[in-house]
Structure 1
């Protein structure tokens, strides 16, 4: 319990970044409602991306012969709070079964053979739970629209760096199924974010006056360029690993330049409008 609390404290103090065994990995804080006590119970967990609105967590309990408390809590109350370090949202929990469980488990073992070791040690079927987002909190209290935009951007910076590191470290000539899902999830998230900006934020910024036209023209063009790179990456996912890595690297550089410029140009305006 003390070890978990140390991770929780470090996670919350550093916007989801921790050291030790979780350093550089995918980590969330999952808060469930105690099945007997009704009290909130928070646990740090590794996870697998599974599309834009869903992640997977595995009830391994380190290979224990019994399922972890958080799993029993979700069976009693299949809703939970997920913290990513940048965002907090409510999620609905579904225990996977049959072929869906088998496919998810195979992807997990493909990424980290340690899951298979836990399975052998546990002597029980290890459940896989899907957490599907049902509602997102807004920016934390006191944050401006500019800070909220930077938080969203930091999420993409973190994900791009993680995907690039995963592809670089992967073995074999081509990507495995889970790494392809990680890439596709990141691509989908960027596409959705840019679509929302195109429909809402960017028109509002253009309305600030003619002086914004050159800035918005450049941002629009960068959105189009990034959309092309996303499409090229998706087409490359079945190619050899080096080709995928080159596409991810190219996309990362383009996105980082775009995010830096967008923040430089738009955040002062957003903060000024909010009185910050």
Structure 2
């Protein structure tokens, strides 16, 4: 993409915490910052990504089917340590180029989810690389691009709301006979993300708030019960995904959406005043 076009996307992405308008509205995008192979200068590029479970995401060096690999790919070959911005989270990652069967399987999943990837491959003689970005673990809570703890909670909640909306749309676009491999990975990644978020709240955030605000006790009990309920629902979604039945998966996604939306609304109602008071 031309530099000016890229820069406009980067500015909109950062200003709206990962939300984009126009042709990229609703797309899974991230900002990838690499170190120049020859210059050592840092370069930021908007790229599409695929959730891949655990601590990694996949990016594809398609360059729209160009005969040449994109500059960011050459950069990470020389300097695999990169920075990833999701719009809400920012973290350091190690870039690993997938090889052989692992690359082919990942690319096939991408094509199944979006045939446009196959069109790019048909336009070029090069084998389009697939790169895994492995988050480099660090102590403490994740780095959230927010100005206050309350805003951080809202933004994290919006990540789950947005992802569920994307999953529902992707299920609606499916062929109706089976659940695609990449969509299965996306559902499982969502389930794991909810588990990690709620585990962090139960273990760290809620005890801190309870120590400072004794009146939070009853709300905490309800929130913990709701976390247990969400865990039951994500378990049902995992089971539905394992059957590869899109109708069963969609039913579970709708159930999860309804109950999670109610939970997030109640949690924001209870937590945000306490979190904002702490920084007032």
TM tier, smaller: over 0.9
RMSD over aligned Cα atoms? 1.6
Deviations 1:28-84 (A, max 9, x none): 111111111111111111111001310000011100111110000001100111111
TM-score if structure 1 supplies the norm length? Answer: 0.94
Q: Give me the whole-angstrom Cα distance separating, in 1, the residues matched to 2:28 and 2:8.
A: 17
Shift of 1:182: 0.1
Does 2:67 match 1:62? no
Q: Is the aligned partner of 1:252 residue 2:257?
A: yes
Of 62, 78, 81, which aligns to 2:83? 81
The correspondence for 2:217, drawn from 201, 213, 218, is 213
Alignment match, 1:43: 45
Give how far 1:206 is off.
Answer: 3.0
Query: What displacement does 1:217 show?
Result: 1.7
Q: Which residue of 1 aligns with 2:197?
A: 193
Say yes or no: does 1:131 pair with 2:136.
no
In structure 2, what is the equivalent of residue 242 of structure 1?
247
Please name the residue that 1:225 is paired with. 229
Q: Which residue of 2 aligns with 1:90?
A: 92
Partner of 1:132, secondary structure, is strand
Given candidates 7, 13, 23, the residue that maps to 2:25 is 23
Cα gap change, 1:77 to 1:270, in 2 (>3 Å): same
| Displacement of 1:203 | 2.3
Give the superposition deviation at 1:138: 2.5
Do the aligned partners of 1:205 and 1:216 also contact (CA within 8 Å) in 2?
no
Is the contact between residue 33 and residue 40 of structure 1 (CA under 8 Å) also seen in structure 2?
A: yes
Which of 149, 162, 170 in structure 2 is aligned with 1:145? 149
Residue 178 of structure 2 corresponds to: 174
Query: Is the counterpart of residue 272 in structure 1 residue 277 in structure 2?
Result: yes
For residues 95 and 239 of structure 1, the distance between their equivalents in structure 2, rounded to whole angstroms, comes to 29
Change (3 A) 1:239 1:72: closer
Q: Secondary structure at the match of 1:122?
A: coil
After superposition, give the CA deviation of every residue in 1:107-127 in whole Å (9 maximum; x if it has no partner): 011111111111111111110
| SS of 1:207 mapped into structure 2 | helix
Aligned length: 274
Does the 8 Å CA contact 2:90/2:145 hold for their aligned counterparts?
no
Could you tell me how far apart the structure 1 residues matched to 2:175 and 2:36 are? 40
How far off its partner does 1:212 sit? 2.3
User: 2 CA distance for matches of 1:148 and 1:4?
Assistant: 26
* Deviation for aligned residue 1:222: 0.6
Secondary structure of 1:225's counterpart equals helix
CA contact (8 A) 1:50 1:182 kept: yes
SS at match of 1:18: coil
Any residues of structure 2 matched to 1:158-169 within 5 Å, and which?
158-169=162-173
